[in-house]
Amino acid sequence: MFPGQGVQRRGMGRELFERFPDMVVDADEVLGYSIRDLCLENRDGRLALTEFAQPAIYVVNAMALRAHRETAPPPDIAIGHSLGEYNALHAAGAFGFCEGLALVKARAQATAGVPGAMLAVVGLSRQQVEDVLNATGGTRVHIANFNSARQLVLSGLADEIDAVRPALELAGARLARRLRVSGPFHSPHMAPAAERFEAAVQAARLEAPAIPVVANLTGRPHQAAGMRDALVWHLTSPVLWKQSVEWIWQEYEGIRGNSAEPDGESWEPLHITELGSGNVLMRLIRHLRSEYVAGIA
Q: Which residues are catalytic?
A: 82, 186
With b meaning 16 or more CB within 10 Å and e meaning fewer, what string describes 59-72? Answer: bbbbbbbbeeeeee
Could you tell me if 280 and 57 are in contact, meaning their C-beta atoms sit under 8 angstroms apart? no
Distance between CA 11 and CA 40 in Å, rounded? 4
Q: Which of 147, 172, 156, 81 has its CA nearest to residue 119?
A: 156
Q: How far is CA 175 from the centre of its chain?
A: 20
Q: Which of 226, 153, 150, 156 has its CA nearest to residue 187?
A: 156
Q: Which of 292, 295, 294, 296 has its CA nearest to residue 249?
A: 292
H/E stretch holding 121: strand 117-122
With 0-12 / 13-18 / 19 or more C-beta atoms within 10 angstroms meaning exposed / middle / buried, residue 115 is exposed
Under DSSP, the state recorded for 2 is B
What SS3 class is residue 78?
Answer: strand
Distance between CA 250 and CA 172 in Å, rounded? 31
